Structure 1
Amino acid sequence: MNLFNLEGKVALVTGGNRGLGGAMAYGLAQAGADIAIVQRSKEETEVAKSIRDLGRKCETFSFDLSETKDLPELVDSVIKQLGKIDILVNNAGVQRRSPSEEFSEEDWDLVMQVNSKAVFFLCQTVGRKMLQQGKGKIINLASLLSYQGGFTVPEYAASKGGVAQFTKSLSNEWASKNVNVNAIAPGYMATEMNTALINDEKRSRQILERIPAGRWGNPEDMVGAVVFLASNASDYVNGETITVDGGWMGR
C-alpha cells in the first residue's frame, strides 16, 4: 500500500481545525504527512494536538481568507516552518441562507470571496511553488451544488460551481507539469454548516430519503478520498471532482 503513503510530505489544509477539514487533516497525518492548518482562530485546537500525538508535525496559522492580498506571506510562512508544501487542501468555506429575492450583496460578496476567489488565488500561489519543485497535489472542496442549484443558497451554488470549473482549468495547464488538481464534492454531511438543514424536520427527511446509503455523511467519510487524491495512487487523475455523497448524485 505504498501508493497511499504520505511520509515525508507536507499538507496545507485550510479550515483544518474542525469539521470536514479537521477529519481530512487528521487522515492525511495518519497516512504520514506533516500538517499546516490555516484557521481564523488563533487558539490551538484538539485537531492539532491529536495530529502531534501521532508523531507528526502540525503548525497552525491564523489567517482570514476574506482577504487575499497576504496569501503569498502565508504560503512563505508555511514553507519557512515546515520546509515545503506538497499537498494543498482548499477546504475552508462559508455559507449564508436567504430567499434569492432577499439575498444581500454583502453576503454574496463574502461567500464568493472565501469559497471561490480565495481558493483560486491560494491554488495559484501554492501552485507556483509546486511547479518550481516539479510535483504537487491540489485538492479543492466542491459540493453537490457544483451540479445542482439548491434552495436559498444561490451564492453557495455559484461559488462551488466556480470551484469545480477552475479545478478543470488549472488541471489543463498543470497536469503535464506533474501538478494534479482535483476536487471532492461532499454530500450532505452532519457538520455545523448544515445545522439548519438537520434541524428542519421536513427538509432533513427529504434529504435522507434520497440518499441510497440511508444516512447523512460524517467528516470521517472524507478521509479515503483526500488521501487518495494526495497520494501517488492518483498520479494519473486530473481535473476530476469525486463525489462523496452516499449515492445522492446517482439517484
Structure 2
Amino acid sequence: MNPFSLQNKTILITGASSGIGRSCSVECSKSGANLILIARNEEELKKTVSLLDPDSKAEVIIADIVNAENLEELIAEKVSILGKISGFIHCAGIEKTLPLKKHNSTLYNDIFAVNVIAGFELAKILSLKKYKSEVASFVFISSVAGLVGEIGKTAYSASKGAVISGARSIAMELSRSNIRVNSISPAMVNTPILNKMFEDVGEESSQEILKKHPLGIGEPEDVANACVFLLSDAAKWITGSNLVVDGGYSAH
C-alpha cells in the first residue's frame, strides 16, 4: 500500500468552495479519499464537486460553520453515509488588511470566530469516538502571517498565530486518541483572497509583496499537496508541527 495514498479515508474539509479549500478537495480526491465538504456558497461548492476525481464519493454540507447550531447532526448524517472521519482540514478563513486605527472588537471577533474557534470546535466534534476512525489526522491552515509581522494584519496575524499554538496543544491532548494534529503556514497563494488584497493595497505594495517570495507566489495545489502528505500514513510520526509552505518568504 502506498503510504502517501488517502485510499479508504474520509476527509472533512471546511471552506471547500474556493481557493485552498477547493484545491485540497480536488487533490484529496485524486489521492483516493472520500470527502465531506463544508461551505456557505452552494453554487461554488457544486463547482468544487464537479472538479473531483470521478471515483471519489463526496457529500456536501451547506452551512455557516460559525452559526450552524445543528452542525454536529449534519456531520453525523454524512458520517453514516461515507464512514468515520480519518482526516480534517480547516481551510475556511477570513483575511482583512486594515491599519490598526481601523481595527475594532467586531473585526477581531469576526476573524477569530472563523479562523480559530470554528476550527477548534469542529476538532472537538470530530475527535469523538462515534465520528472518528481508529487513526486520524487534523490539519489547520494557518499563515506565515502567524509567524512574521505584516503591516495592516494585526487581527489576521493574531488569529493565525492562535491557530499554530492552539493546534500544538490539541496535538498533545488528542495523541492518546490516535489523532495527529498539525498546521500549515502558507505565504501568498494565488486565490480570490489574494486578488482582493492586491486590489486593496495597490500596485506598489503588491510589487513589494511579490519581491518577498523568492520562488514566486504559490498555487493552491502547493498547499493542498502538503495537506495530503500530513493526512496520509506517510506522516504518521508527525504531530504538533507547523509546516511552512511559503516559497522562501519567511527565510528573509
TM-score of the pair, normalised by structure 2? 0.92
Residue 96 of structure 1 deviates from its aligned partner by: 2.5
Alignment-mate amino acid for residue 60 of structure 1: V
Counterpart position of 1:135: 135
Q: Give runs of aligned pairs for residues 86-235 of structure 1, distance below 5 A.
A: 86-129=86-129, 133-199=133-199, 200-213=202-215, 215-235=216-236
Q: Which runs of 4+ in 1 moved over 6 A?
A: none
**How many Å separate the matches in 2 of 1:133 and 1:226?**
18
SS of the equivalent of 1:12 reads strand
SS in 2 for 1:136: strand
1:7 aligns with 7
Q: Is the 8 A contact 2:126 2:132 kept in 1?
A: no
Partner SS state of residue 3, structure 2: helix
Q: 2:72 is aligned with what amino acid?
A: P
**Consecutive unaligned residues in structure 2, runs of 5 or more:** none
Q: Which shows bigger deviation, 1-10 or 195-204?
A: 195-204
Task: Determine the C-alpha separation between the residues in 2 that align with 1:6 and 1:113.
Answer: 30
Whether 1:243 and 2:209 are equivalent positions in the alignment is no
Amino acid aligned to 1:136 = A
What does residue range 72-91 of structure 1 map to in structure 2 within 5 Å? 72-91=72-91
Sequence identity, in percent? 28
- Aligned AA for 1:167? A
Asked if structure 1 preserves the Cα contact closer than 8 Å seen for 2:138 and 2:231, the reply is: yes
Q: CA deviation at 1:68?
A: 5.7
Say yes or no: does 1:38 pair with 2:38. yes
User: Residue 211 of structure 1 contacts residue 247 of structure 1 at CA under 8 Å; is this kept in 2?
Assistant: yes
Q: Is the 8 A contact 2:85 2:132 kept in 1?
A: no
**Secondary structure of the residue that 1:86 maps to in structure 2?**
strand
- Map Cα deviations across residues 82-130 of structure 1 (whole Å, 9 max, x no partner): 2221110000011223211121322221111011111111111111238
Tell me how far 1:249 sits from its aligned partner.
1.2
Counterpart CA distance in 1 for 2:190 and 2:111 is 20
Contact in 2 for aligned 1:66/1:110 (Cα 8 Å): no
Q: What residue identity is the alignment partner of 2:212?
A: R
TM norm structure 1: 0.93
Give, as a single letter, the amino acid of the residue that structure 2 aligns with 1:145.
Answer: A
- Aligned-pair distance for 1:131? 8.5
In the alignment, is the contact (CA less than 8 A) between 1:13 and 1:89 conserved in 2?
yes
2:245 partner amino acid: V
Which residue identity lines up with residue 99 of structure 1 in the other structure?
P
Q: 1:104 to 1:162 in 2, by over 3 A?
A: same
CA shift, 1:67, in A, is 1.8
Preserved CA contact (<8 Å) 2:86 2:132: no
Question: Is the 8 Å Cα contact of residues 67 and 118 (structure 1) preserved in structure 2?
Answer: no
CA contact (8 A) 1:180 1:239 kept: yes
Q: Determine the C-alpha separation between the residues in 2 that align with 1:173 and 1:4.
A: 25
C-alpha contact (below 8 Å) 2:16/2:39 kept by paired residues: yes
Q: Which secondary structure state, in structure 2, belongs to the residue aligned with residue 4 of structure 1?
A: coil
Give the number of equivalent residue pairs.
249
Q: 8 Å contact 2:76–2:131 — kept in the other structure?
A: no
Shift of 1:203: 1.5
CA–CA distance in structure 2, aligned partners of residues 231 and 89 of structure 1: 12
1:27 corresponds to = 27
Structure 1 residue runs of 5 or longer lacking an equivalent are none
Change in 2 beyond 3 A, CA 1:132/1:94: closer
